[in-house]
Amino acid sequence: MFLASSLAPFLAMSPAQAETAYDFSLPDITGGMLALADYRGKAVLVVNTASYCGFTKQYEGLQALWDGYRDKGLIVLGVPSNDFGAQEPGAKAEIKEFCEVNFAINFPMSDKIRVKGQDAHPLYKWLEAETGKTPKWNFHKFLIGADGRALRDFSSLTKPQSKKLIHAVEAALPQN
């Protein structure tokens, strides 16, 4: 009984059963859980990140996006992953410190998870089922609408401040 109850937060609904991103939770980088249901009614940009990648400087743009749009209903959600080139080798405390010290990151971040393959987190399996896309490298971005539906993805090459990403974010923001 203890085992089942202690694992319950990690045993998310299967991607086939899920209707929206709100059906998933991720382990938080601070030790708790990030329930996407807490972001109901907001647009969410989910980005798989890595500390030692050529795209790591995108953290600056992600923080600027968060700063500029969070009051309008955008959540930037960083998802560290070691799936590509073993470029996120550290533990959650190291990742958190790296992001805070080097990029002043204060948007929500999950603990390190798998984002591709058979062992991918259920959220990423759902995103693949919804969009037909999987991350090909670090800093791949998925935009989820205020209704919890996956809208589209952006490759690692798409910078957070690109016009096409900004336009998509603005269109996805909740209508007040």
Decide: 23 and 13 in contact? Cβ < 8 Å. Answer: yes
Query: What is Dmax (Cα atoms) for the chain?
Result: 51
Annotated catalytic residue 53: yes
In the set 53, 70, 96, 152, the catalytic residue is 53
Decide: 148 and 36 in contact? Cβ < 8 Å. Answer: yes
Please report, for residues 94, 95, 142, 148, 175, the alpha-carbon distance to residue 74 in angstroms, rounded to integers and kept in the order given. Answer: 26, 23, 13, 12, 12
Rg, C-alpha atoms of the chain: 15
Rounded Cα gap, residues 30 and 91, in angstroms: 11
Please give the positions annotated as active site. 53
